[in-house]
Amino acid sequence: MKKQKVLVIGNGMVGHHYVEQLSSANLPVEITVIGGETRPAYDRVHLSDFFAGRKPEDLALTTRDHYHQIGVDAHFGDPVVNIERDTQKVITKGGQIFHYDKLVLATGSYPFIPPVPGAALPGCMTYRTIDDLGEIRAEAKSSKIGVVVGGGLLGLEAANALKNLGLETHVVEFAPQLMGVQLDSGGGEMLSRKIEALGVKVHTGKATQTIKKGNNTRLRMNFTDGQTLETDLIVFSAGIRPYDQLARDADLKVSERGGIEIDFNCRTRDTNIYAIGECASFGGKIFGLVAPGYRMAEAAVSQLTDKPIPFQGADMSTKLKLLGVDVGSIGDALGKTPGCIAYTFSDQRAEVYKRLIVSNDGKFILGAVLVGDCSDYDSLLQFYLNSIELPGNPESLILPAKDNTASLLGASALPDSAIICSCHNVSKGAIIGALDAGCCTLGDVKSATAASSGCGGCASLLKNVVDEEMAARGMEVNSALCEHFNYSRQELFDILRSKEILTFQQLLDEHGKGHGCDICKPVIGSMLASLWNEHVLEKKHLGLQDTNDIYLGNMQKDGTYSVVPRVPGGEITPEKLIVLGEVARDFNLYTKITGGQRIDLFGAQLHELPSIWRRLVNAGFETGHAYGKAMRTVKSCVGSSWCRYGVQDSVGMAIRVETRYRGIRSPHKIKLAVSGCTRECAEAQSKDIGIIATENGWNLYVCGNGGMRPRHADLFATDLDDETLIRYIDRLLMFYIRTADRLQRSSVWLENMDGGLDYLKAVIIEDKLGLGEELESQMAYLVDTYQCEWKTTLEDPEKLKRFRHFINEEIGDDQLDYVQERGQRRPATALERKHHKESNPHRIAITELSGRS
């Protein structure tokens, strides 16, 4: 069968979703994509994260390579200018011609710029693409004042960006209130008040007449009421207009208010042409959100299968944090339904405004407006979406909860069909299915269903559903550490700390049972070290230490060890490098530069470790704790001392933090990095703690992870001075050490934390739990009691005794076997060993006890 040629114009969020859905549907199609922007699809919804340090790559939803791999022919940067319906081909600006059997228009929309004279002057910008944001950032560097024209959702988001860029920020709105589409006038007023309190000036009911060059500033806005506003830059965010010109030129039907008209099948009036996303108009309406666009994409793909599903319109409810203010709008928020009843609650002091619109029989929610407190949003939305009948007194739904007035909807009350995540169309049923299929944590459910991986708005509801379901099926997350302790790691930590327990034995006697095991022993060993910082090879702690800690080296596949001295910040003198080379040569150790900016020497036997370390310690090296669940490395870039772009001394800071936190044992390993400017050569955003220099100090990123499930670190605080930076890290690390689970990297810890990043900020920055000082002094204790574990070991003959392979012979393991490769040795493979044995049956091993010194 000949493959159908499907051509998609536009590679925005929706166009991309279409391509993904189509390519995974395994249909006999050839997919071609023509994207007008120079880069493949990216996450426009999180566009503003660009200002929080996200790079274009981070926002990318796909790559050219990926499209190539899945067989999609993709072209970027050359927009389509013409559709010839009779010959079924399209022509690009650059003159390329493509044929199609089916054509999909996913051209999205563009920002509307009001026809004001002067709106094209330099300094006037829009907020839609990555390139736009790049321009705004560049322009902001030489600006003091910024104005956003438009007080809708996007306008306020843009205002937030300008404010964060350090500009004096104004919002100019033509209508008498902010967010007129979503909020009623009461909500709009409350929002204005809250935003003004944050230092953004709000001008409502203002029409701009002209924009001129300014006197003291770059621009001056003249309003119809005669007033003026001086500013350096203007961002227009006065609504969007669908890109429908192509369709107009091709004589497809376009709706009165713009947008390519489509039917239930997402088809235009040409049956071979579909339109989806923000360029499409369904029932005279354009959906300016991504979820409806995704539903259109899915509906359009299904038309090519034998199971077509219709597009049925979509819900436009939204919940957002705008300039730090919670705002929610559900359904008919403005109360336009004839006969509807409205309940309004307003608390001027707490600056909370809520309005509930219910049907005239009082039975169903038709809409709601929430400003300043969105905690009821999830419940209200579910009442609304699932037409759940209301309790007798609907007003209780928005009144502040008195004790035990459980008016709100528990997740268990939701029907299986309830959509929990509207971005990815995940129903409660699908979540239950995932749990049935073996998922046993929130994280599992997220990765199995994609729920909560879009706008993130459903996160708390998702958690509720998962928690309730797990509880319901008795899966009650058993947090007991192992069969010997009926406590979680965090509980055990608190017990150790509050009862000042110093040994495993005491804890086992008083709070555990059995003999312990390879799960609880290392965890408790680690906690004892985090708390009291005694040497891990003290006799009383020895039996607790895991594979690597017990000999202060990482065990390799053949039972030998690696040696990784600390190289703080990756800075090393030539003399020290030479020592490393000499030691490696003398002991015939395989040598490799690690991914952590230091040098790993492999293949040392137990009895060789002390002599190797003696030489290293004498040369001024310390242990690198590569073996411990501990602070590992602090990666740095060369920074301002050499680099022409560096704005701070990143190496100096890296050495400072590495020296401060070296050796600290933790639930899992901890890695840090420090970059000297935003180019981020040290990859700090992939670390547990990332520090990036700014003109004014340091930006702190937290809870990143490389490894098997990479996670970008979150921006935690900006422009910190050295001392504040250290204080925050002290608190953060200690809080992590106290509360994380066994073997839980900081990334997963944060993801599982109730309240997430905001909560963490509240604890660390605002000291919400009043723990700040305690955490700091605990950290100070660890810093003060630091010892190089190898140095101490070398000074203690008792400890050294254990470093030999045989308790009764002075030789090494007699069965090791190596081959030479690229000038160094490595363990022989099973096959090579067999071969060695056959060729020399009497051979015991090739080990000569190398390099005694």
Partner 1 sequence: MAREDWTYVCEVDELIPDTGACALVNNEQVAIFWEKKSNQLFALSNFDPVGLANVISRGILGSLGEELVVASPLYKQHFSLVTGQCIEDPQYCLKTYPVRRIDGKVQLKISKIIAR
* Site for ligand SF4 contains 649 (CB under 6 A): no
- Our finding on whether 632 is near ligand SRM (CB under 6 A) is yes
Q: Which of 614, 652, 620 is nearest to 636 (CA)?
A: 652
Q: Which of 666, 675, 705, 778 binds ligand SRM (CB under 6 A)?
A: 705
d(C-alpha 277, C-alpha 108), whole Å: 6
Residue 379 binding target from ligand FES, ligand SRM, ligand SF4, none, CB below 5 to 8 Å by type: none
Cβ neighbour number for residue 692 with a 10 Å cutoff: 27
Question: Distance (Å, rounded) from C-alpha 39 to C-alpha 130?
Answer: 9
Q: Which of residues 559-578 bind ligand SRM (CB under 6 A)?
A: 562, 564
Q: Judged by CB under 8 A, which stretch of 35-43, 401-409, 553-561, 660-668 contacts partner 1?
A: 553-561
The contact mask relative to ligand SRM for 814-853 (x = CB under 6 A, - = no) is: ----------------------------------------
For partner 1, the binding residues in 334-393 under the rule CB under 8 A are none
671 near ligand SRM, judged by CB under 6 A: yes
Burial of 73 per CB tally in 10 Å (0-12, 13-18, 19+)? middle
Q: Does 518 bind partner 1 (CB under 8 A)?
A: yes
User: For ligand FAD, what does the binding mask look like between residues 276 and 315, x meaning CB under 6 A?
Assistant: -xx---------xxxx-x----------------------
**Residue from 479, 563, 469, 458 nearest 523 by CA:** 479
Of the residues 40, 53, 79, 851, which one makes contact with ligand FAD according to CB under 6 A: 79
Query: Is residue 641 a contact residue for ligand SF4 (CB under 6 A)?
Result: no
Question: What is the contact mask toward partner 1 in residues 479 to 498, using x (rule: CB under 8 A)?
Answer: ----xx--------------
Q: Which does 421 bind (CB under 5 to 8 A by kind): ligand FES, ligand SRM, ligand FAD, none?
A: ligand FES
* Shortest Cβ 651–ligand SF4 spacing (Å): 9
Our CA dihedral for 259, 264, 268, 273, rounded to 10 degrees, sits at 120
Tokens standing for 327? 């705002």
- Strand intervals (E) in 389-466: 419-421, 426-427
Q: What are phi and psi of 99, to 5 degrees?
A: -95, 155
Nearest to 693 by CA among 725, 660, 671, 661: 725
Which does residue 170 bind out of ligand SF4, ligand FAD, ligand SRM, none, counting CB within 5 to 8 angstroms by kind?
none
On whether the CB atoms of residues 783 and 729 are closer than 8 A, the answer is no
Choose the contact partner of 289 out of ligand FAD, ligand SF4, ligand FES, none; CB within 5 to 8 A by kind.
Answer: ligand FAD
Q: Which amino acid is at 186?
A: G
* The dihedral sign for the CA sequence 835, 839, 844, 848: negative
Do 452 and 459 form a contact (C-beta atoms < 8 A)?
A: yes
Phi, psi values for residue 105, rounded to 5°: -95, 115
| 554 contributes a contact to ligand SRM by CB under 6 A | yes
Query: What is the separation, in whole angstroms, between the first and last Cα of the chain?
Result: 75
The yes or no reply on residue 596 touching ligand SF4 (CB under 6 A) is no
10 binds, among partner 1, ligand FAD, ligand SRM, none (CB under 5 to 8 A by kind): ligand FAD
Q: Which residues pair with 102 in a beta bridge?
A: 6
> What, of ligand FES, ligand FAD, ligand SRM, none, does residue 35 touch, CB below 5 to 8 Å by kind?
ligand FAD
Please report how close the Cβ of residue 799 comes to partner 1 at its closest, in angstroms.
10
Taking the least distance from each CB to ligand FES, the nearer of 452 and 650 is 452
Is residue 452 within the footprint of ligand SRM (CB under 6 A)? Answer: no
Which residue in 118, 158, 143 sits closest to 217, CA to CA?
143
Report the partner that residue 455 touches, choosing among partner 1, ligand FES, ligand SRM, none (CB closer than 5 to 8 A by kind).
Answer: ligand FES
Q: Which residues does residue 426 pair with via DSSP β-bridges, in sequence order? A: 421
Does position 186 interact with ligand SF4 (CB under 6 A)? The reply is: no
Q: Residue 319 in contact with residue 456, Cβ under 8 Å?
A: no
Question: 4 vs 594, which CB is nearer to ligand SRM?
Answer: 594
Q: What does each C-alpha distance from 444 to 28, 422, 431, 748 come to in angstroms?
A: 33, 19, 10, 12
Per partner kind, with CB cut-offs from 5 to 8 A, the member of partner 1, ligand FAD, ligand SRM, none near residue 809 is partner 1
CA distances from 763 to 497, 699, 728 (A): 20, 18, 10
Q: CA 579, CA 599: separation in Å to the nearest integer?
A: 12
From the list ligand SRM, ligand FAD, ligand FES, none, which binds 671 (C-beta under 5 to 8 Å, kind-based)? ligand SRM
CB 212 within 8 A of CB 219: yes
For ligand FAD, the closer of residues 28 and 95 by Cβ is 95
Choose the binding region for ligand FAD from 13-21, 203-211, 518-526, 535-543 (rule: CB under 6 A). 13-21
Cα distance between residue 254 and residue 258, in whole Å? 6
Question: Using CB under 6 A, which of 255, 675, 686, 747 touches ligand SF4?
Answer: 675
**Among 265, 594, 694, 739, interactor with ligand SRM by CB under 6 A:** 594
**Binding window for ligand SRM (CB under 6 A); candidates: 194-202, 406-414, 421-429, 590-598:** 590-598
* Least distance from ligand FES to the Cβ atom of residue 636, Å: 36
Shortest Å, Cβ 90 to ligand FAD: 9
**Residue 795 to residues 439, 540, 788, 798, 801, Cα–Cα distance (Å):** 50, 18, 11, 9, 12
Strands, DSSP E only, in 289-364?
318-322, 325-331, 341-347, 352-358
Mapping DSSP to helix (H, G, I), strand (E, B) and coil, where does residue 732 land?
A: helix
Q: Could you say which of 47, 461, 681, 737 contacts ligand SF4 (CB under 6 A)?
A: 681
Of all residues in the chain, what percent are helix, strand and coil, respectively (each to 5)? 35, 20, 45
- If one asks whether residue 596 binds ligand SRM (CB under 6 A), the answer comes out as yes
Name the minimum Å distance from CB 686 to ligand SF4: 14
Q: Could you give the dihedral angle defined by the CA atoms of residues 422, 423, 424 and 428, in that order, rounded to the nearest 10 degrees?
A: -20
Q: How far is the CB of 286 from ligand FES (least distance, A)?
A: 20
Query: Shortest gap between Cβ of 684 and ligand SF4 (angstroms)?
Result: 9
**From 101-109, 142-150, 730-738, 838-846, span contacting ligand FAD (CB under 6 A):** 101-109
Q: Which amino acid does the sequence have at 410?
A: G
CA dist., res. 667 & res. 674, Å (int):
22
Handedness of CA 563, 565, 571, 575 (dihedral sign): negative
Residue 367 touching ligand FAD (CB under 6 A): no
Q: Please report whether residue 394 would count as binding ligand FAD according to CB under 6 A.
A: no
Closest approach of ligand FES to the CB of residue 188, in Å: 24
What pairing do the DSSP bridges indicate for beta strands 590-593 and 599-604?
A: antiparallel
Of 314 and 664, CB closest to ligand SRM: 664
Closest by CA position to 237, among listed 167, 105, 134, 146: 146
CA distance 733 to 669: 11
The one among 102, 206, 598, 731 contacting ligand SRM by CB under 6 A:
598
Among ligand FAD, ligand FES, ligand SRM, none, partner that 598 touches (CB below 5 to 8 angstroms by kind): ligand SRM
Q: How many CB atoms lie within 10 A of CB 339?
A: 8
Q: What phi and psi values does residue 581 have, to the nearest 5 degrees?
A: -65, -45
Q: Which is nearer to ligand FAD, 126 or 747 (CB)?
A: 126
Give me 35's structure tokens.
């994207």
Interacting residues with ligand SF4 (CB under 6 A): 637-639, 643, 645-646, 650, 675-677, 679-681
Interacting residues with ligand FAD (CB under 6 A): 9-15, 34-37, 44-45, 47-48, 79-80, 106-109, 127-128, 154, 157, 243, 246, 277-278, 288-291, 293, 455
Interacting residues with partner 1 (CB under 8 A): 483-484, 514-518, 520-522, 539, 542-547, 550-551, 555, 557-559, 801-802, 805-809, 811, 813-815, 830
